[in-house]
Amino acid sequence: MTKYLEIGQIVNTFGIKGMVKIKPFTDDIKRFDKLKTIYIENKKGRKEYEIEEVKYHKDMVLMKLKDINTIEDAERFRQSYLLVDREKEEPLEEGVYYIVDLIGLEVYTDEGKLLGRVDDIFNTGSNDIYVVKDELGKQILFPGTDEVLKEVNLEKGRITIHLIEGLM
């Protein structure tokens, strides 16, 4: 498992006093209120910063970092990623997983047929959609609903699904 979790990307600056605008990669945008520090990762590496202020604007997060006081200071973080240390995160509820932990898992039908590996997961609003690729690169999409998604076993590195009518 990865030590750090990506929770957003800095997409722009905001104002002239060093704030950055962040596209969040989380279901709970208010989680930024609980953070005291954040790691910023870019081509130059990863560095921890203290958070001074968090605001929200149109589904985006606005953040002021300590010692980043001008638009020029903030500009150097554009396209950088925000990370948190997994060990400092609150435990997830039963049946809830980080997407990074699901990518690469083998996907089997409940009859034991290997369909491929999880290549991506995206949210449609009502549920997650899992993108599975087989060894030839063919994609299979399935919804992350209780009717289809039967078991996620991180230790064994596999997901079991039930194929319903029209899924394939």
pLDDT at 37: 95
Whose CA is closest to 10, among 51, 28, 1, 34? 51
What predicted TM-score, i.e. pTM, was given to this entire model? 0.75
What is the token pair recorded at 66? 């300590």
Cα 120–44–36 angle (5° rounding)?
A: 75
DSSP state of 25: -
Give the pLDDT of residue 168.
Answer: 62
DSSP string for 51-93: EEEEEEETTEEEEEETT--SHHHHHTTTT-EEEEEGGGSPPPP
Q: Which residues of the chain carry a pLDDT beneath 70?
A: 1, 166-168
Which residue ranges form the domains of the chain, and what is each CATH number?
4-88 (2.40.30.60), 99-160 (2.30.30.240)
- pLDDT number for residue 92: 80
pLDDT reported for residue 95: 83
40 burial level (CB within 10 Å; 0-12, 13-18, 19+): buried
Q: Tell me, what's the pLDDT at 159?
A: 95
Give buried/exposed letters for 66-91 (b at 16+ CB in 10 A, else e). eebeeeeebeebeebbbbbeeeeeee
95: CB partners within 8 A, 6+ apart? 152
Tokens in use for 122? 């995206």
Q: How many CB atoms lie within 10 A of CB 154?
A: 13
